[in-house]
A and B are shown apart, each in its own frame.
Chain A
């Protein structure tokens, strides 16, 4: 993997609130604060892993970056272009460079379109190739993801989950993007298929110098594929560091608990480690706790944690943490 220090994507104070309407007049009575002010960079050629439990806002972050949701506040800068204020044709053109791979390979492919149509559609929509060229490109793309071009005339239902996910990759690669958001691309797949798909993602990254935002809840897989990892809890980032640092010496109590909750497929290693088991559930993002969002489940919470929101600060070079208790 060739990572350098050139920033490809800069996310600054990104906020995404979804309004809640009630009553006869449908007045706004509140908001689901799905993403509440997060800041991070992604370097060209790297994979940033974004982990968190369901409902923490990691998918919303991905969609808000691509402007599939228009953010409530904050900035998103991609390759020097400010996406938030981009509209119409300009936005459409920029989107070529950013693609997304979705979680559910059964829901993200149109069952009435053939594989050739699905993979060729981006080329058609963006008018970058003639009909004859499209056919050739589709065949090439299918080969890239290890599918036989002879499958081009088939429909999605004829494929297994892993194969469908490959079709999704081919579609995402059609416009030769530089940045791909992978939103839980393997969590719907069987264990033996997950490894195939992850290896393919790594090969493609090397071949085309792709940059990934890899969204997942599986911490072991994120460790495997990422260069740096960001941990999210209830709409905010709680920790961000390069992979080895985060997994070896996490600072934030949530990261520590999350890591210790992951089962290790080895009875001896599993028996020999310290476990932190969190009490209770994640609170509702419509009514998050005051101060630090994690304080209701935090084993080391203090008075200050309910009073002010901890700043997301750099405690060591490249290691960011949002916690009052970390010195």
Chain B
């Protein structure tokens, strides 16, 4: 086994709702190497955010519960840690950026105060040291007049600038991993390009690993080294970025890529559409969760749930069907 920075095994998370127990994550295993960038792609409800929140101990309980699995980070299982212990991992060693920068910042504290807090809490800096470092961080994420802008409140920042602040905050204690959960979804395309560029630059400078959660297959194409596609609480395909886009194997991945119009589209063709809608899982699937929407589905797909299997070096797919031939993988 290679040296994995983060090693997640058999993660399962459920939520109790008035309509029944929702099986959000149903056995997810993956590893993250040092200074590697991984994209996690899927539609809403596929379990991509819940997976990462579970690893970080951020699932509100009740109603949520991590029911199985391990997540090793430097030899320690994050899922077994006490609240106090994991609080020191979060923020200090694993940084996070969320989707909506406007609601992630406290509106009644200045940007400076919010940036200083993790520095004093996790690294034990004094207020003055923290102040200085906060100004440095703001400058690093490209906010002009950083020193003066520390005294501003969040409403004085635009969406793109708030997201820069969130990134500065996540990086303040030099984490080994940055987890970004749809950090550009709420932003305009030109601002999205700025943020992606910023994270790329900081990743290269600081040598940290990045997990980038998104529903946009375009964003991770130019940025991640490896991509995991999730559906129905499972990873259904995982591979280096070039193989995934060049040789997608799972029917869902093929469908997703086919349903995207491209800005460099050559001729007008009807978009490929996947019929139906993603499932809400009130039971742990016994069969392939994608079978109801799959045009390749065979008998076996309705009876057994496929596991991730290697189809070519570093390329793993969870599907009974070889989509190249339309026949069963023997």
Contact = CB atoms under 8 A, between A and B. Distances in A.
Partners in one complex: yes
Interface stretch (B66-74, B98-106, B258-266): B258-266
A163 B255 CA distance: 19
A258 B278 CA distance: 31
Interface stretch (A33-41, A59-67, A175-183, A271-279): A271-279
Interface in B183-201: 188-194, 196-197
Contacts of A121: none
B189 A217 contact: yes
Given A220-B262, A220-B265, A192 B222 contact: no
A224 interface: yes
B188 A199 contact: no
Contact of B261 (A53, A217, A221, A257): A221
Given A53-B190, A190-B43, A262 B256 contact: no
Interface string B236-277: 000001100110000000011101111111001011111101
Contact of A193 (B218, B222, B264, B277): B277
A271 B160 CA distance: 24
Contact of B221 (A219, A260, A270): A270
A192 B263 contact: no
A155 interface: no
Interface in A147-196: 160, 162-163, 190-196
Given A191-B43, A262-B218, A264-B222, A202 B270 contact: yes
B160 A281 contact: yes
Given A54-B188, A217-B188, A257-B190, A265 B245 contact: yes
Interface string A13-52: 0000000000000000000000000000000000000000
A223 B265 contact: yes
Given A190-B44, A257-B190, A281-B191, A162 B277 contact: yes
B278 A192 contact: yes
How many B residues are at the interface, by size bracket?
A: 35 or more
Contact of A261 (B192, B255, B268): B192
Secondary structure at chain A's binding surface: helix, strand, loop or mixed? helix
A261 B218 CA distance: 11
B217 interface: yes
A160 B277 contact: yes
Contacts of B246: 267-268
Contact of A266 (B190, B221, B270, B272): B221
Nearest to A1: B268
B261 A263 contact: no
A106 interface: no
A53 B263 contact: no
A266 to B, nearest CB: 5
A194 B273 CA distance: 8
Contact of A281 (B161, B263, B265): B161
Given A196-B273, A263-B216, A271-B222, A224 B261 contact: yes
Interface in A238-285: 247, 257-271, 275, 277-278, 281-282
Contacts of A194: 259
B274 A195 contact: yes
A264 B43 contact: no
A278 B259 contact: no
B261 A220 contact: yes
A67 to B, nearest CB: 28
B219 A263 contact: yes
Interface residues of A, number: 43
A277 B265 contact: no
A198 interface: yes
Given A258-B190, A275-B193, A267 B261 contact: no
B158 interface: yes
A192 B255 contact: yes
Contact of A277 (B194, B218, B255): B194
Contacts of B191: 53, 281
Nearest to B275: A196
B215 interface: yes
B188 A264 contact: no
Nearest to B196: A263
Given A190-B278, A219-B189, A221-B261, A199 B222 contact: no
A192 B274 contact: yes
Interface in B131-179: 158, 160-161
Contacts of B193: 260-261, 275, 277-278
B186 to A, nearest CB: 9
A281 B164 CA distance: 13
Interface of B: 43-44, 158, 160-161, 188-194, 196-197, 215-219, 221-222, 241-242, 245-246, 255-257, 259-265, 268, 270-275, 277-278
Given A192-B278, A262-B263, 14 more contacts: A53-B190, A190-B44, A191-B216, A191-B256, A192-B256, A192-B273, A193-B277, A262-B218, A263-B221, A264-B221, A265-B218, A265-B245, A270-B222, A271-B222
Task: List 3 tightest A-B contacts by C-beta distance, closest first.
Answer: A263-B218, A224-B261, A195-B259
7 contacts: A191-B216, A191-B256, A217-B188, A221-B261, A247-B263, A270-B221, A270-B222
